[in-house]
C-alpha cells in the first residue's frame, strides 16, 4: 500500500510522498511525517554484502514506495556516481577505540552533500509523478553548509530556481567563498543582517505569504524547500546509519545484532532524527547522543524537558550548529508522543508565542531512553582538536570535535560508538590551524595559504574543490536586511 505522509500538527492533512517532497512544508506549518514507523523495516543482515547505492535504494523504497523501484534506483545511481571522492561514499575510520563516519566527501565537503545529491532527483521524480509542470522556487536558509550543497545539487536545473539566505558574519570564510562564487543561471545567494534562526523563521513565513503565493501562481511557480524540513532531504540520511553498521560487522568490529551508539553533532536535529528512523526500521542502535555547542538549547531540553529559546544566540567555532530553533525536534516529538498531532500543535503554538515549551515528565522519560546528550564550549572544542590530532593523528573539524569531546567526557559511555563527522576540517581551516599550536601555523594568513600549509604539515588530504575556490570569481555579494528577504523573491520571479 502506498505510504501517506501527514502533518505533525494535523492528522487530516495527508499527502503522498511526491506531494510532500514537492511542498517541503505542510500548509499548516507542520512537517511531513510517516504517521506509523512500524511500516518501515530493513533487516541489516540483508545488506551486509551490499554497496552504498544498493542500501540507499532499499531505504528509499521503504519510505517512498509511491515510486517504482526502478525509478528510485535510477535516482540513486545518478546521485552517487562520480560525485563523491571516496568510492564508499561515507567511509568509516577507526580512530582510537571509536569510529568516525566521514560524511564529507561530496562536492561541497559537508554531510549535507549526501542528501542534497539525491534530493534534486527526488524532486524531479515527484514532479513527474504528480504531472506537475510548474517550476519550483527553492528557498533555503543556511547556517553555512546546506546552502552550498543545495546550490550544487540544483544549479542549472531547468525546472528549479533557487534563493539562498545565509547569516552575514555567521559562516566560515571558506563557507562564504563557496556560496559567493556559485555559478548557475538559476541561483541567487544573499547574506542577511540576522542569524540562522532569523533566516529559517522568515523562510518558513514567506512560504505562506499570500501575496507571494499569488504572484508565484501567476508565473506557474511553487515554493519548495531544500532544508531538512523537507522529508526528501531527511530520508537519504538514514542510509549511512545502515551502511556504517554493516561495515562494522564486515570489519569484525561488532557482532551482527550488537547494539551500538551514534553520536551526532546537532543543529536542526535532522541528522540525528535520521538515526532514529534507522533505529525504528530495526537497526540495532542503543543510544543516539545529541552533541551541542554553546547554543545548548537541545542539551537543556533533553535533560529537563523544557525547550527554552529565550537565551542569547552565540556565535561559536561550529557555526553550522548555531541554531536555537531546531525544526526537526517537532518530528521527534510527534513520533515519541505516539503520533499526538494535537499535542505537537499546542507545543508549537507555545514556542511561537512564548519562545518555549515544556513536555510531560512521562514523554521526557521516553525520549531519554533513546536520546542522550552533552555539549562542548568553544574552548573545549579547540582543546579536543589539538588533543585528537596529537594523540591519534586525526584532524577533526570543529563540529565533529563537539561530538568527539562530548563522547570522551560522557560518564554513560558503554557501547561502541560511531561519531558522525559532518564537515571537512579544511572548511574551518582558520579555526583548526589555530587550535593545534604544535603545527606552528600563522592562522592570520590568507585562508588558501592556510589550506596548503595545514595539508603539508599534517599530510591530511585537502579537497581540491576548496583549493580551487581561490581562483573562482565572486558572483554574489549582496547583503540585505531581514525585511528585504521578500523583495529578493519578487525580483527573482519578475525576471
Ligand X SMILES: *Cc1c(COP(=O)(O)O)cnc(C)c1O
The residue ranges that bind ligand X (CB under 6 A) are 110, 112, 145, 228, 265-271, 320-321, 399, 422-423
Nearest distance from C-beta of residue 403 to ligand X, angstroms:
9
Considering beta carbons, is residue 29 or 398 the nearer one to ligand X? 398
Q: Which is closer to ligand X, CB of 149 or CB of 341? A: 149
Shortest reach from residue 221's CB to ligand X, in Å: 27
67 versus 394: smaller Cβ distance to ligand X: 394
Tell me the helix, strand and coil percentages in the chain, rounded to 5: 50, 15, 35
Rounded Cα distance between 7 and 14, Å, is 7
**Residue (127 or 273) nearer to ligand X, CB:** 273
- Give CA 93 to chain center in angstroms: 21
Residues with Cβ within 8 Å of 167's Cβ and at least 6 positions away in sequence, in order, are 143, 191, 192, 194, 195, 196, 198, 199
Cα separation, 256 vs 45, whole angstroms: 7
CB of 143 to ligand X, least distance (A): 6
CA distance 12 to 442: 59
To the nearest whole angstrom, how small is the minimum distance from the Cβ of residue 159 to ligand X? 26
Minimum distance from residue 208 beta carbon to ligand X (Å) = 22
* Number of alpha carbons in the 13 Å side-chain half-sphere of residue 426: 27
Grid cell for residue 238: 538514514
Classified as helix, coil or strand, 443 is coil
In angstroms, rounded to a whole number, what is the distance separating the alpha carbons of residues 157 and 454? 36
Instruction: Find the shortest distance in angstroms from Cβ 276 to ligand X.
Output: 12
Task: In angstroms, give the least distance from the CB of 291 to ligand X.
Answer: 9
241-274 burial, b if ≥16 CB within 10 A, otherwise e? Answer: bbbbbbbbbeeeebeeeeebbbbbbbbbbbbbbb
In the sheet that holds 32-33, the strands lie side by side as 10-16, 4-7, 32-33
Burial state string for 459-468 with b = 16 or more CB within 10 A and e = fewer than 16: eeebbebbee
Query: Which CB atom, from 216 or from 272, has the smaller least distance to ligand X?
Result: 272
Catalytic residues: 112
> Quick one: which of 370, 211, 361 has its CA closest to 279?
370
Nearest to 122 by CA among 109, 110, 111, 138: 138
CB closer to ligand X, 326 vs 410: 326
Question: Cα(32)–Cα(315) distance, rounded to whole angstroms?
Answer: 30
Q: Are 93 and 100 in contact (CB under 8 A)?
A: yes
Q: Which is nearer to ligand X, 254 or 291 (CB)?
A: 291
Query: The C-alpha cell of 448 is what?
Result: 588558501
Amino acid at each position: 500500500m502506498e505510504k501517506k505522509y501527514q502533518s505533525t500538527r494535523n492528522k487530516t492533512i495527508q499527502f503522498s510522498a511526491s506531494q510532500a517532497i514537492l511542498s517541503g512544508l505542510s500548509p499548516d506549518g507542520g512537517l511531513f511525517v510517516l504517521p506509523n514507523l512500524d511500516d518501515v523495516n530493513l533487516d541489516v543482515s540483508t545488506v551486509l554484502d551490499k554497496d552504498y547505492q544498493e542500501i540507499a535504494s532499499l531505504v528509499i523504497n521503504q519510505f517512498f514506495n509511491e515510486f517504482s523501484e526502478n525509478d528510485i534506483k535510477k535516482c540513486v545511481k545518478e546521485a552517487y556516481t562520480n560525485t563523491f571522492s571516496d568510492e564508499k561514499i561515507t567511509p568509516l575510520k577507526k580512530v582510537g577505540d571509536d569510529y568516525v563516519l566521514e560524511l564529507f566527501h561530496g562536492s561541497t565537503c559537508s554531510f549535507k552533500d549526501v542528501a542534497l545529491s539525491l534530493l534534486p532527483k527526488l524532486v524531479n521524480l515527484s514532479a513527474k509523478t504528480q504531472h506537475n509542470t510548474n517550476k519550483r522556487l527553492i528557498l533555503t536558509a543556511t547556517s553555512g553548509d546546506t546552502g552550498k550543497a543545495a546550490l550544487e545539487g540544483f544549479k542549472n536545473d531547468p525546472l528549479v530556481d533557487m534563493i539562498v539566505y545565509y547569516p552575514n558574519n555567521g559562516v566560515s570564510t571558506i563557507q562564504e567563498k563557496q556560496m559567493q562564487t556559485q555559478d548557475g543561471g538559476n541561483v541567487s545567494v544573499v547574506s542577511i543582517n540576522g542569524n540562522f534562526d532569523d533566516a529559517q523563521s522568515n523562510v518558513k513565513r514567506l512560504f505562506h505569504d499570500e501575496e507571494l503565493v499569488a504572484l508565484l501562481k501567476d508565473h506557474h511557480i511553487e515554493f519548495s524547500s531544500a532544508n531538512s524540513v523537507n522529508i526528501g532531504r531527511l530520508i537519504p540520511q538514514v542510509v549511512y546509519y545502515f551502511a556504517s553498521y554493516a561495515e562494522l560487522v564486515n570489519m569484525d568490529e561488532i557482532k551482527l545484532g550488537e547494539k551500538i551508539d551514534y553520536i551526532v553533532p546537532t543543529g536542526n536535529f535532522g541528522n540525528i532524527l535520521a538515526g532514529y528512523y534507522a533505529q525504528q526500521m530495526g537497526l540495532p542502535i542503543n543510544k543516539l547522543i545529541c552533541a551541542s555547542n554553546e547554543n545548548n538549547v537541545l542539551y537543556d531540553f533533553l535533560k529537563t524537558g523544557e525547550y527554552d529559546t529565550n537565551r542569547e544566540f552565540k556565535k561559536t567555532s561550529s557555526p553550522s550548529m548555531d541554531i536555537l530553533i531546531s525544526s526537526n525536534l517537532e518530528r521527534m516529538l510527534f513520533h515519541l508522543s505516539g503520533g499526538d498531532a494535537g499535542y505537537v500543535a499546542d507545543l508549537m503554538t507555545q514556542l511561537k508565542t512564548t519562545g518555549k515549551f515544556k513536555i510531560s515528565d512521562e514523554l521526557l522519560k521516553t525520549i531519554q531512553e533513546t536520546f542522550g546528550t552533552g555539549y562542548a564550549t568553544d574552548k573545549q572544542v579547540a582543546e579536543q582538536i589539538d588533543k585528537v590530532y596529537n594523540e591519534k593523528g586525526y584532524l577533526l573539524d570543529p563540529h565533529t570535535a563537539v561530538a568527539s569531546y562530548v563522547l570522551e567526557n560522557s560518564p554513560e559511555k558503554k557501547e561502541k560508538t560511531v561519531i558522525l563527522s559532518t564537515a571537512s576540517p579544511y572548511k574551518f581551516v582558520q579555526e583548526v590551524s589555530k587550535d593545534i599550536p604544535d603545527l606552528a601555523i600563522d592562522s592570520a594568513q590568507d585562508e588558501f595559504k592556510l589550506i596548503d600549509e595545514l595539508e603539508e604539515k599534517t599530510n591530511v588530504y585537502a579537497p581540491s574543490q576548496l583549493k580551487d575556490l581561490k581562483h573562482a570569481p565572486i558572483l554574489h555579494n549582496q547583503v540585505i536586511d531581514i525585511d528585504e528577504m521578500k523583495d529578493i523573491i519578487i525580483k527573482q520571479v519578475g525576471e
